[in-house]
């Protein structure tokens, strides 16, 4: 069952971060029982284990350091059970979407649909629709998790929870450390809170506490109407004003939004260099059947999407959003409206093209500089720091002379600045900027990772964010589940 890794399998030594590692063995289990057998072999030989889903992660979490790769890509079963799905960890998001019964949808939507559900759970992945529906965590009803010792824990939301900070599950029991969490979108570190559902401990743990061998997914009814609007603002400051005009204030707890109202489901951003980049590569995109809609010159772009029970409510929300455009100095006639799923898909399709194009540009440059990788940030700040963080990025980038573009989930103040180094000197300059920004984001109470996780690439930034005491508490928790540090050593924690 366990193979010795041969050179042709070198693909399994890296993920989408383009970092490359090393390993001596690889295994492709098809069942939970096979996972347990492999775990027993690894324990006997003392091999560290690196868990892999689809290797689309961009923080290096699935890149092995040595030992055994446990690749779960062949555990792909999907079963539909009463408006939920029970899935094996290697099922891809694309396969899950195809299996969802008519009238329902699975809302977590990282744009990379080849991602596996095990990887999405372990990174607590999110996407555009997380603005309304939350990250993957909110849509996991239960998990089966194999611990390093070979025990399978069955944890169900609503059934298995901690008593305060005390937890007992299977042969494991202990006290959970209370870990600070920034009050922003965050995917950095363990999730712990008093009386928590134990399933949440494993979501976002980046495979350091156990191996997800099965998950039960929550499905949502498809809304009656989905409308999207792509708007072009004269500059970044206007885009921020527009975002603040669209973002709904939190409803008072005793007066939730009426069921009949349209709800803002996504609020996304593309800066002017991003639009330039798309124009420049329009031919390459066309060859992949990706049509770029007309993009006015020199503008920032906001994509907003509303979900409503019926068209009338969605239309009302979109018309109100169009009124705000004039207030923010934009020409409403340049905005593109989509009120059918096929048109919405056309507006969204190039969103995924941006990170893919960035990767292909970097791959070309690696022919000259093999060690070159892109620098992509994943930081989020509180609402009142959105304008500040964008101004910081823009002024530093303009002064740097680096090639860059910025896109992301502006509704959650969560932006991906992508720096495309042309050579190692560019990379060093970009890295210095990234570190400086992280200092400031942390000082503002933000997170250095809002959706991609810490993996092996952001441990230094993570230490900077949470401090040594929190890392020590996390290590204590890890030791409870994995005393010999067999699972994913070097990911999340040193």
Ligand X SMILES: Cc1cc2nc3c(=O)[nH]c(=O)nc-3n(C[C@H](O)[C@H](O)[C@H](O)COP(=O)(O)OP(=O)(O)OC[C@H]3O[C@@H](n4cnc5c(N)ncnc54)[C@H](O)[C@@H]3O)c2cc1C
> Which residues contact ligand X by CB under 6 A?
15-16, 51-58, 61-62, 72, 89, 110-112, 115-116, 118-120, 122-123, 125-127, 206-207, 211-212, 355-356, 451-452, 455, 488, 491
Smallest gap from residue 469 Cβ to ligand X (A): 24
One-character DSSP codes across 120-147 = HHHHT---TTHHHH--GGGGEEEEEEE-
Nearer to ligand X, 378 or 426 (CB): 378
Smallest gap from residue 89 Cβ to ligand X (A): 3
Smallest gap from residue 63 Cβ to ligand X (A): 9
Smallest gap from residue 348 Cβ to ligand X (A): 11
Smallest gap from residue 120 Cβ to ligand X (A): 4
Alpha-carbon gap, residue 175 to 190, rounded angstroms:
14
Nearer to ligand X, 112 or 394 (CB): 112
Q: Are 417 and 393 in contact (CB under 8 A)?
A: yes
CB atoms closer than 10 angstroms to residue 443: 9
Alpha-carbon gap, residue 490 to 492, rounded angstroms:
6
Residue nearest to ligand X (CB): 119
Smallest gap from residue 135 Cβ to ligand X (A): 8
Nearer to ligand X, 188 or 308 (CB): 188
Nearer to ligand X, 10 or 178 (CB): 10
Nearer to ligand X, 236 or 359 (CB): 359
DSSP secondary-structure letter at 8? G
Nearer to ligand X, 212 or 361 (CB): 212
Q: Which of 389, 421, 392, 419 is nearest to 406 (CA)?
A: 419
Looking from the CA of 375 toward its CB, the CA atoms found within 13 Å total: 24
Alpha-carbon gap, residue 130 to 402, rounded angstroms:
31
Largest CA distance in the chain: 68
Smallest gap from residue 387 Cβ to ligand X (A): 23
> For tokens 């607590």, what's the residue?
124
Distances (CA, A) of 122 to 104, 119, 470: 24, 5, 20
From the CA atom positions of the chain, what is the Rg in Å?
A: 22
Q: Are 457 and 188 in contact (CB under 8 A)?
A: no
Nearer to ligand X, 21 or 273 (CB): 21
> For tokens 């002064």, what's the residue?
399
């Amino acid at each position: 069952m366990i193979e010795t890794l041969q050179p042709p399998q070198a693909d399994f030594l890296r993920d989408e971060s383009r970092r490359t590692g090393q390993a001596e063995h690889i295994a492709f289990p098809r069942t939970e029982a096979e996972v347990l057998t492999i775990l027993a072999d690894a324990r006997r030989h003392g091999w560290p284990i690196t868990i892999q889903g689809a290797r689309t992660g961009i923080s290096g979490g699935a890149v092995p350091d040595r030992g055994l790769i446990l690749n779960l890509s062949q555990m792909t079963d999907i079963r539909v059970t009463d408006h939920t799905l029970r899935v094996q960890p290697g099922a891809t998001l694309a396969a899950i979407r195809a299996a969802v019964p008519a009238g329902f949808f699975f809302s977590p939507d990282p744009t990379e649909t080849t991602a596996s559900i095990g990887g999405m759970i372990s990174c607590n992945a999110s996407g555009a629709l997380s603005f309304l529906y939350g990250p993957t965590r909110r849509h996991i009803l239960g998990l089966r998790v194999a611990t390093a010792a070979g025990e399978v824990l069955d944890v169900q939301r609503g059934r298995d929870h901690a008593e305060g900070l005390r937890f007992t599950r299977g042969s494991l029991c202990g006290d959970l450390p209370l870990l600070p969490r920034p009050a922003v979108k965050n995917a950095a570190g363990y999730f712990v809170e008093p009386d928590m559902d134990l399933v949440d401990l494993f979501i976002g743990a980046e495979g350091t506490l156990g191996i997800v061998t099965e998950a039960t997914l929550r499905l949502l009814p498809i809304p009656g109407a989905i409308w999207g609007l792509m708007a072009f603002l004269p500059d970044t400051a206007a885009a921020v004003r527009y975002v603040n005009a669209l973002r709904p204030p939190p409803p008072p707890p005793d007066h939730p939004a009426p069921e009949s109202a349209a709800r803002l489901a996504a609020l996304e951003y593309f800066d002017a260099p991003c639009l330039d980049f798309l124009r420049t590569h329009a031919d390459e995109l066309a060859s992949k059947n990706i049509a770029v809609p007309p993009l006015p010159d020199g503008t920032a772009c906001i994509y907003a999407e509303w979900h409503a029970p019926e068209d009338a409510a969605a239309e009302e929300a979109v018309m109100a959003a169009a009124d705000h455009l004039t207030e923010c100095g934009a020409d409403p006639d340049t905005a593109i409206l989509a009120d059918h799923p096929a048109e919405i898909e056309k507006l969204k399709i190039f969103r995924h093209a941006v990170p893919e194009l960035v990767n292909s540009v970097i791959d070309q440059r690696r022919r000259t500089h093999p060690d070159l990788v892109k620098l992509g940030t994943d930081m989020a700040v509180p609402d009142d720091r959105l304008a500040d963080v964008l101004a910081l990025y823009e002024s530093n980038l303009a002064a740097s002379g680096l090639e860059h573009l910025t896109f992301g989930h502006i509704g959650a103040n969560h932006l991906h600045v992508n720096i495309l180094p042309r050579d190692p000197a560019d990379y060093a300059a970009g890295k210095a900027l990234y570190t400086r920004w992280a200092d400031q984001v942390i000082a503002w109470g933000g997170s250095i990772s809002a959706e991609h996780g810490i993996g092996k690439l952001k441990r230094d930034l993570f230490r900077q964010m949470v401090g040594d005491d929190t890392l020590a508490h996390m290590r204590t928790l890890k030791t409870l589940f994995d005393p010999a540090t067999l699972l994913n050593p070097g990911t999340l924690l040193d």
